[in-house]
Structure 1
Amino acid sequence: MKSNIKICASWQKNHEQPVYTLADTCPKCNSVTKNTAPAPFDPTDAYGEYRRALKQRVRE
């Protein structure tokens, strides 16, 4: 089972430190939570083509 750790979306305003949870709402202030993981792929990445080519060369 995979679970995503989430962070309170308004922790800068409501808390001194980030509040992490698995729920869809913050347990301390009941605001919405958001995913903490960065996006795995950026379509506007200007150097993605070169990075993939280098990775391919290393594999060979």
Structure 2
Amino acid sequence: MHSDLRVCASWSEHHDRPVYTLTTSCPECGGDAVNSAPAPYDPTDRYGEYRRALKRRAQE
């Protein structure tokens, strides 16, 4: 699952603030726009197993 909201990929070089859009290009500079949502899962997460166990224990 990912967000439809995108942010200008080079906003730190061209803009003084992040520029958000729903299109694939930045409306201000015309550069590429990338997905603004972080990845929901990191397979290299060393503590994920413990975090999920705590969550399961809290639900019981």
What does residue 12 of structure 2 align with? 12
Structure 1 residues without counterparts, runs of 5 or longer: none
TM-score when scaled to structure 1?
A: 0.89
Q: Which runs of 4+ in 1 moved over 2 A?
A: none
How many residues in Structure 1 have an aligned counterpart in Structure 2? 58
C-alpha separation in 1, matches of 2:12 and 2:46: 32
Give the TM-score normalised by structure 2: 0.89
1:13: how far off? 1.1
Deviations 1:24-59 (A, max 9, x none): 000111110011111100000000000011111111
- Structure 2 spans left out of the alignment, 5+ residues: none
Structure 2 SS opposite 1:52: helix
Percent identity of equivalent pairs = 59
